[in-house]
Amino acid sequence: MSLQVVLDQDKCSGLGLCEAEAPEIFEVREDGSLAVLDETPADEHRMACEAAVAACPTEALRLIES
Amino acid sequence: MTVDHLVVVGASLAGIRAVESARKAGHTGRITLVGAEEHLPYDRPPLSKAFLEASEEAPADPRFRTEEHLRDELGVELRLGAPATGLDPKARLIALDDTEIGYDALVATTGGTARRLPGTDGIAGVHTLRTWDDAVAVRSALDAGARTVVIGAGFIGSEVASAARKRGLPATVVESLPVPLVRSVGEDMGHACAYLHRAHGTDLFCGATVLSLEQVDGRVTGVRLGDRSTVPADLVVVGIGVDPSTGWLEGSGLEVHERDHGVVADATLRCADGVYAAGDVVHFPNKLFDGEMMRLEHWTTAAEQGALAARNALDPDHATELGTVPYFWSDWYGSRIQFVGRPQADEIRVISAETGDARFLALYRRADRLVGTITIDRPTQIMKYKRLIATRASWAEALEFAGVG
Ligand SMILES: Cc1cc2nc3c(=O)[nH]c(=O)nc-3n(C[C@H](O)[C@H](O)[C@H](O)COP(=O)(O)OP(=O)(O)OC[C@H]3O[C@@H](n4cnc5c(N)ncnc54)[C@H](O)[C@@H]3O)c2cc1C
Ligand code: SF4
């Protein structure tokens, strides 16, 4: 099973709380938009990704098991 | 004892997170969510931001979840429009107006109420901005082209002024302190915030007191200041702070803070046997800041605490303590202000002034440690500072990271 990160650009307001939880996976760009650095993170990042999803105030992030 | 019935009092952000985390933690017993407002739980930050923008369509619905989702997916019994009026922690009972509810574990998430200006109740055109209903009223005043006066230069009031200016309406902010926001972010940052107002055409009167509101036929027409001048107004938004909603805890024996009557909890958010608290209502010792007591009015903390309080309430023997870096943001005039950590400091160093960068950056030092950072329009950096604070980075490390070490 592998993990996939899905970002809803319309909902994301670039606050970067996801980045605080999982800096290897998310980074807010200079223009305030969010870059998903790794859309299919390795399993070691699972906990951090779950924390990022929970921390997002706009519910812009989802994790899919594929 | 094992918990069967979890009762959450306060149906907002911390409350919904408590409910969701209880289910996620495997709680299969009853959950009752009690709320004073008629509305389903909704999100407040948009109410002073996108919600106030001019648009043809109705603003986005701020509710977190549908009633069906709460009832069917989360198995929550809703008691909305039903404020709790009392608590008996020994008997494990809460009182509502017409009935009592027994609980095995209770999470109190009653947040706060916006402070009003004495003697202004009932004057049309005068509002606070805390609830969805408040936001609807403020939005419709702006739609009608109101000349807007904000009393108190705090973050929410400043967002209202910004929304009025974005619509091209005249906006004035009246602040009693000489510099806005000094208490929450310090003097230099206060000046930077003052600059944002003035650069966007908002009149900012600092060190100004409000003598009275002028009204005609029960509707506000102006704000009279201490120097006897009058600022014309069709809409007055009072943003002078929030009082924790703990009236219902009177007589319960729970400790409330002498200053503001917020409820006092330990590091696991426990207030008494079986009673936990979360969100804007609670004072708690923050492990990450050596147990400093704090009560925060930040979205992220309320969400995090709501989830933790429920988990701890369900399993007190394995309760975990909260260590968290406070974080808040505010959007004015297209700029984003972001703050992490604590503003009370031995030194506040304005790095952007040293490096000649127009985008504000200041670092807050306590002893040898970085305890806070504030930025304006530096979205890529703020979370990196948050991590530095979370890992107890030294002042030297912080300065080096900022490029001035
Ligand atoms: C307009 C606005 C803009 C904001 N913008 C930002 C922002 O940009 N960034 C940020 O970090 N934070 C922001 N905040 C703060 C953030 O919204 C709060 O920190 C958060 O709402 C706190 O959640 P809470 O659940 O603790 O309390 P609240 O949201 O205050 O909810 C408490 C609930 O309890 C209910 N209640 C009260 N008494 C009783 C009772 N006796 N019985 C039953 N129910 C009761 C209330 O009706 C209310 O619904 C903003 C707040 C407002 C109002
Ligand atoms: S926390 Fe959510 S809103 Fe913020 S940058 Fe990440 S995805 Fe976007």
- Angle among Cα B36, B91, B251 to the nearest 5 degrees reads 60
Establish whether residue A17 lines the binding site of ligand 2, counting it when its CB lies within 6 angstroms of any ligand atom: yes
| Alpha-carbon distances of B210 from B72, B222, B229, B235, rounded to whole Å | 50, 11, 10, 15
Q: Which of B314, B295, B261, B253 is nearest to B1 (CA)?
A: B314
Phi, psi of B50 (to 5 degrees): -55, -35
Distance of alpha carbon B292 from alpha carbon B253, whole angstroms: 23
pLDDT higher than 80, residue A1:
no
Q: What is the mean pLDDT of residues A1-13?
A: 90
Which atom of ligand 2 is nearest to A13's Cα? 3
Give B209 to chain A, closest Cα distance, Å.
Answer: 35
Pick the CATH number of B334-401 from 3.30.390.30, 1.10.287.180, 3.30.420.40, 3.40.1670.10: 3.30.390.30
Closest-CA residue of chain A to B335:
A32
Minimal-distance CA residue to ligand 2 atom 3:
A12
- 3-state SS, residue B281: helix
DSSP one-letter string for B71-106? IIIS-EEEEET--EEEEETTTTEEEESS-EEE-SEE
Beta strands B235-238; B148-151: pairing state: parallel
Which pLDDT value is given to residue A32? 86
Distance of alpha carbon B384 from alpha carbon A19, whole angstroms: 8
pTM score: 0.95
Q: What are the extents of the domains in chain B?
A: 5-113+242-318, 116-238, 334-401
- Judge whether A5 and A25 are in contact, CB under 8 Å: yes
The answer regarding whether domain A3-65 maps to CATH 3.30.70.20 reads yes
- Judge whether A13 and A55 are in contact, CB under 8 Å: no
Quote the tokens at residue A24.
């290897």
Q: What are the extents of the domains in chain A?
A: 3-65
- Cβ neighbours of A32 in B, within 8 Å: 336, 379
- 3-state SS, residue A20: helix
Which CATH number describes the domain made up of B116-238? 3.50.50.60
Establish whether residue B84 lines the binding site of ligand 1, counting it when its CB lies within 6 angstroms of any ligand atom: yes
Give the amino acid at B174: V
Give A4 to chain B, closest Cα distance, Å.
Answer: 21
- 3-state SS, residue B24: helix
- Cβ neighbours of A54 in B, within 8 Å: 303, 307
| Neighbour count for residue B347 (Cβ, 10 Å) | 11
- 3-state SS, residue B138: helix
Which pLDDT value is given to residue B1? 60
- Tell me whether domains B5-113+242-318 and B116-238 share a fold: yes
| Neighbour count for residue B315 (Cβ, 10 Å) | 16
Per-window interface: B 21-60 vs A, CB < 8 A:
43, 45
Which value does ipTM take for this structure? Answer: 0.84
Cβ distance of B380 and A28 shorter than 8 Å: yes
Written out in words, the top-level CATH class of the domain with range B5-113+242-318 is alpha beta
| Alpha-carbon distances of B56 from B59, B90, B303, rounded to whole Å | 9, 53, 32
What pLDDT band is residue A40 in, cutting at 50, 70 and 90? very high
| Stretches in chain B below the pLDDT threshold 50 | none
Which of residues B184 and A36 earns the better pLDDT score?
A: A36
Establish whether residue B17 lines the binding site of ligand 1, counting it when its CB lies within 6 angstroms of any ligand atom: no
